[in-house]
Amino acid sequence: MVDKSSFLPGKHIAILVPSLAGGGAEFVARTWAAGLVERGARVTLLLTHSETEEDVPLGAEVVEIPSVGFISRLRRLRRVIQQLRPAAVISLMPHWNVLALAATRGIGDVKVLISGRNAESVLVGSVSATFRLEIFLARLLYRRTDGYIAISHPVAAEAITKYRIDPQRVWVVPNPATAKISPSLALERRSGRASRKPGNRVILTVPARIVEQKRPVIAVRVAKILAGRGLDVEVHYFGDGNLRELVQAEADRAAVPVRFHGWVNEWFLECDKDSVVLLPSVAEGFGNVLVEAAAVGVPSVATSQALGLADAVVAGVTGELTIDADVEGFADAVERAMALPPIAEEGWLERFSPGTSTDLLVESIQRVLTRSSRQEE
């Protein structure tokens, strides 16, 4: 077992992300930065796309790399890394993984750990030309990485087969998905749900961006089917995006009540006792919201075809997984999920705590740096 208390002190770790706000990867970067600082590391957050929008983790440093265009960003990043000379650079998401690998090429004493956050193969045909270019570059560069941190087991398997990364350099580090939820809050919310009276009311809760990849219209169609079965149904969206008007129009035609809450960081605090989370995404690398939902006693429904969600749902315990995206199948799964009791599997939830996530990250960093030092001897 790694002695986490003695490995990191004095080591300089840089984390490369677009900003400190805006999505799941940014949240993970902030949480990991705070955890690494607590373990004695010197941490620098390298931000490429925006000014600091969130509180910087106490003890961490921030270096902003303002630039326009990939080549300019790459050159600036390389200069910063040459100046800082961190022991390791950790990057999150394809664009920043490519940047990290390209910017550190030839700087032998700086190791790179890249991170996979999505099930990319499922997205074929629904991504932009820019993303396809990034994946092309990833195929050229990823195999050179010193370590690959996967958000889930399906993402790890994809990285090994798609990018031909040595399996011995691939590690699954679960997201710190429970970071926003204290044990007391989790207990309070689960107790509240356990005390509810069974009925025919359900709030389909969609905590996701209202964009094509998340297939938000499906929730309205599922609600219509459930209403036809005699249930009192509403759909609540926690997120925003370019498909909001389309969803509203679909809801108007189907006579389904919908509410748009906008982006709410702690969306689970506004969940009704009769909520069931529905996440009908085309693809997900993991699904933080599914673990957050389980922690507060809200069951979830998602599709196995999204691949990475299998790490975030215990089928029949914390929620239900459908075989595909058929709306009748989703409706059936919602009815099954409504009957699930709120879980109290603290051991499973602990795997997604900030402490466990950071400990496994530290083990990954140690393996990279230890291997490097042995090769140099």
Interval 150-192: pLDDT, tens: 999 999 999 999 999 999 999 999 999 999 998 888 888 888 8
Averaged confidence pLDDT in the chain:
90
Q: Which helix (H) or strand (E) holds 373?
A: helix 354-376
Distances from the Cα of 209 to the Cα of 39, 55, 163, angstroms: 34, 23, 28
Burial letters for 52-82: b for 16+ Cβ neighbours within 10 Å, e otherwise?
eeeebbeebbebbbeeeebeebbebbbebbe
Q: Are residues 278 and 136 in the same domain?
A: no
Q: Is 65 found in the same domain as 201?
A: no
Domain extent, residue 196, equals: 183-350
Give the model's confidence band at 53: pLDDT under 50 very low, under 70 low, under 90 confident, else very high. low
Convert the pLDDT of each residue in 107-116 to its tens digit. Answer: 878 999 999 9
Q: Are strands 232-237 and 147-150 parallel, antiparallel or unpaired?
A: unpaired
Residues 192 and 297 both lie in one domain = yes
Output 307 or 129, whichever has higher pLDDT: 307
The verdict on 315 and 359 lying in the same domain is no
Asked whether residue 304 carries a pLDDT value surpassing 90, the answer given is yes
Q: What is the CATH number of the domain that holds 48?
A: 3.40.50.2000
Confidence check: pLDDT of 373 > 70: no
Q: List, for residues 348-359, the tens digit of each pLDDT value.
A: 999 999 999 999
Same domain as 115, residue 170? yes
Question: Can you give the pLDDT at residue 1?
Answer: 45
Instruction: Report percent pLDDT > 90 for the chain.
Output: 69
Q: What is the pTM of this model?
A: 0.89
Q: Three-class SS string for 175-218? A: CCCCCCCCHHHHHHHHHHHHCCCCCCEEEEEECCCCCHHHCCHH
Residues 118, 136, single domain; the answer is yes
Asked whether the predicted pLDDT for residue 121 surpasses 80, the reply is no
Q: Are 300 and 276 in contact (CB under 8 A)?
A: yes
Burial class (CB in 10 A: 0-12, 13-18, 19+), 184: exposed
Q: Which stretch of 43-52, 258-267, 319-328 has the lowest confidence by average pLDDT? A: 43-52
The pLDDT of residue 126? 59
Query: What pLDDT is stored for residue 377 in this prediction?
Result: 35
Distance of CA 104 to the CA centre of its chain: 25
Would you state the pLDDT for residue 246? 97
Is there a single domain that holds both residue 58 and residue 116? yes
Segment 91-101 shows an average pLDDT of 93
Name the pLDDT band for 2 (thresholds 50, 70, 90): very low
pLDDT on residue 250:
97
Does 288 have pLDDT greater than 70?
Answer: yes
How far lies 232's CA from each of 202, 223, 227, 229, 250, in Å?
Answer: 6, 9, 6, 9, 18
Burial of 355 (0-12, 13-18, 19+ CB in 10 A): middle
Residues 6+ apart with CB under 8 A from 371: 146
Q: How much is the pLDDT for 376?
A: 45
Using CA atoms, how far apart are residues 72 and 208, in angstroms rounded to an integer? 32
340 shares a domain with 246: yes
- Mark whether 371 and 247 lie in a shared domain: no
pLDDT at residue 3, rounded to an integer: 54
Check whether residue 171 and residue 202 sit in a common domain: no
**Around Cβ 28, how many Cβ atoms within 10 Å?**
27
Give CA–CA dist 264/239, Å, rounded.
7
Do 117 and 235 lie in one domain? The reply is: no
CA 238 to chain centre: 16
Round to whole Å and give the CA distance between 116 and 271: 30
pLDDT at 198 over 70: yes
The domain total for the chain is: 2
Task: Please indicate, yes or no, whether residues 34 and 138 belong to a single structural domain of this protein.
Answer: yes
What span, in angstroms and rounded, lies between the C-alpha atoms of 248 and 299?
A: 25
Q: Is the pLDDT of residue 78 over 90?
A: yes
pLDDT, tens digit (0-9, with 9 covering 90-100), for 205-261? 999 999 999 999 999 999 999 999 999 999 999 999 999 999 999 999 999 999 999
- Total length of the chain: 377
